[in-house]
Amino acid sequence: MKLIIASNNEGKIREYKALLSSVGYDEVLSLRDAGIECDPEETGTTFEENAAIKARALFEKCDCAVLADDSGLIVDALGGEPGVYSARWLGLDNDDSKNTEILRRLEGVRRSDRTARFVCAIHFIRDDGTEILAKGVCEGQIACQPQGDDGFGYDPIFLYAGKKQSFAQMSADEKNAVSHRGMALRDLLEKLK
C-alpha cells in the first residue's frame, strides 16, 4: 500500500519507513518523492492541531493514505520552549544553532532542573478519509553539551530518562524503542489493526 508523509525530513522518513512496513505500507514516500508541494501554515497551538492541519492539506492533494506529524521538544526550565515552534524556533535555520541556544539558556541550571520531554502527535488519514490521531511522549533531560553524531534535530542534547546517553548516541532500533515518535507510531499501529 502507498502512504505519503507530509515531510521531507530524511531522518523522520527513515524512521517511519522502518516502522510502517509491518502494517503493509511498503511504498512510503516523502513529499519530494511523491512530487507534491504542501506546506500549510501551522496555526495550531498544540502538536495535535498542527499535525491535523498538515495531514488534511496533503490529503486534498493525493489519492492515498497520508500521515503528518508534529513533534517537538518541551524544556521545563525554558517555560516549555521551544514546544510547537521546535522546527522554526527563534528563526534559527539549523539544528546546531538551536541546540547551542538551548544550552546557552540553560547555563548554570542544575541537572535536576533540566527536565524535558519530546512529544509527537501523528495524524493519519486512510485512503477512505478516516482520520486517526496517535501520540507519544518521551521524558528526559537536557545534557550540558551535545553528545553523539547520529539522529537529527535536538537528539544530541536530549538524554533519555536521565541516562547518560543522548538520542544521538543510540542506534536507530534503540531510539525507536523508546522515542516519542516510536511511541506515537506504536499507538497508531494498534489503532490501524
Q: What distance in Å separates the CA atoms of residue 170 and residue 176, rounded to the nearest whole number?
A: 9
- Are residues 98 and 157 in contact, defined by beta-carbon separation less than 8 angstroms? no
- The reply to whether 70 belongs to the active site is yes
Distant-in-sequence, close-in-space partners of 188: CB < 8 Å, separation ≥ 6: 122, 124, 132, 134
Residue 66 DSSP class: E
Cell 498542527: give the residue.
Answer: 50
- 48 vs 88, 121, 163, 180, CA distance in Å? 17, 5, 28, 14
Sign of the Cα torsion 33, 37, 41, 44 reads: negative
- 182 vs 104, 107, 136, 147, 174, CA distance in Å? 29, 30, 7, 21, 10
Q: Grid coordinates representing 166?
A: 543522548
Q: Grid coordinates representing 189?
A: 499501529
Q: Which of 26, 33, 39, 70 is catalytic?
A: 70
Q: Give the residue numbers marked as catalytic.
A: 70
